[in-house]
Amino acid sequence: MPECRTCGGALTEVYDFGRQPLSDAFLEPDKLEGEFFYRLAVGMCGACTMVQLMEEVPRDKMFHEDYPYYSSGSEVMRKHFEHTARDFLDTELTGPDPFIVEIGSNDGVMLKAIADAGVKHLGVDPSGAVTERARSKGIRTRTAFFEESEALAVVAAEGNADVIFAANTICHIPYLDSIFRGVAALLKPNGIFVFEDPYLGDIVERASFDQIYDEHFYLFTARAVRNMARRFGLELVDVEHFGVHGGEVRYTIARQGAREPKPAVEELLAEEDARGLAQLSTLEEFGLRVTAIKDDLVTLLTKLRDEGKRVVAYGATAKSATVANLCGLGPDLVEFVCDITPQKQNRVTPGSHIPVRGPEAFRDPYPDYALLFAWNHADEILAKEQEFRRNGGKWILYVPDVHTV
């Protein structure tokens, strides 16, 4: 029986999404041969309740020199990270010679405000392309995977950190034992490790199954995070829920005994128990909803095609790979995907091979329907694309169910 990647307990599989490609591997149309695929399935550990993928994709296949995601691409996310930086500057980075380390710092959107304030900082990210962009902004960055050995190297070169931060990164890393050993080595005695990632409670509530893909190895809950932290002499001391990225929780971890856990921790644990987030039956019900959404989406897109309607997709997101490949979507149902990321344009989507074009293609001319792959940025996108609806266009969404607006 497969074992939990964090505690060694038995894993029970709850849903199989079938054969999937690397979610961020946008290929040139004439270079499709040898495309990498793996089996995407999710399971739960009976011992520590951690929800995770059943199979691990090698990290160097996912996060590499050409990794195409930039955190600064969304105005909503830029504001979110700027607020995060200001909060750290006002609370945790006020002592003598404060120091913050960010894991998965990407193009430095959060650390830019820290750097501008003259505070000592360091980003750690494995993608050379994004770290080079960060350095061009004056942000100190190491191009590396964060793990215990890298943490020890940072301590030797820079000293211990007041804050270690990560956003949409820790859930990507199967080897959490090395991460937490590194955190324990790098933190000052009263320092904090703060990370935010997609929250299993939101995924289950909204049936946002596209949050499950190769890069999201773990789907965290407060209980699973607390269980993990305690194995390394650490304690979950605060939680905060955010609406960004389709629903995330920010976890704050400190050394055991260093800080008193806030009431929000026990409140969220009690809420999780009431919702059954540690029960297999809850995830099995979630799987049934996923199948229903898949069937409804394929039925709708097939109907629109047969009626001669033009359908394009909006946002060549990593998570859209799960939707497109689970549903068997291709250029016959979705003409193309428009996206603002130059590195994705003039390529095709992973596995489904739908052409990716720039945002100008969306308006030349407008389609009849737009499938919103980037649904977690719906408010921002719909406000930006009001002319599409004024021209009679309709958006297709599939979270929490298939519907048009």
pLDDT at 60: 75
Mean pLDDT of the chain: 94
Spatial separation of the C-alpha atoms in residues 392 and 405, rounded to whole Å: 11
pLDDT at 74: 64
Q: How far is CA 283 from CA 11, 160, 214, 267, in A?
A: 13, 40, 19, 22
Percent of the chain with pLDDT over 90: 87
Q: Is 266 contained in some domain?
A: yes
Asked, for residue 23, whether it belongs to a domain, the answer is no
- For residue 53, which amino acid is it? L
Look up the domain containing 151 and give its range: 71-281
**Burial of 97 per CB tally in 10 Å (0-12, 13-18, 19+):** exposed
**How far, in Å, CA of 86 to CA of 34, rounded?**
46
In a domain, 182, yes or no: yes
Q: How far is CA 81 from CA 52, 121, 259, in A?
A: 26, 15, 24
pLDDT score of 73: 53
Q: Is residue 316 part of a domain?
A: no
Taking the model in full, what pTM does it have? 0.92
Residue 132 forms part of a structural domain: yes
In the prediction, which pLDDT does 58 show? 85
Q: Are strands 99-103 and 161-167 parallel, antiparallel or unpaired?
A: parallel
* Bridge partner list, 327: none
Asked if residue 353 belongs to a domain, the reply is: no
Q: State how far the Cα of 335 lies from the Cα of 333, in Å rounded to an integer.
A: 6
Q: Does residue 309 surpass a pLDDT of 60?
A: yes
Q: What is the pLDDT of residue 77?
A: 77
In a domain, 374, yes or no: no
Tell me the C-alpha distance between 159 and 148, whole Å.
15
Peptide bond connecting 365 to the previous residue in cis, omega within 30 degrees of 0: yes
Residue 10, in any domain of the structure: no
Q: Token pair for residue 34? A: 């040898």
CATH number at residue 202: 3.40.50.150
* Number of domains the chain is built from: 1
Residues 281-292 have pLDDT tens digits of 999 999 999 999
Rounded distance, CA 261 to CA 232, Å?
Answer: 17
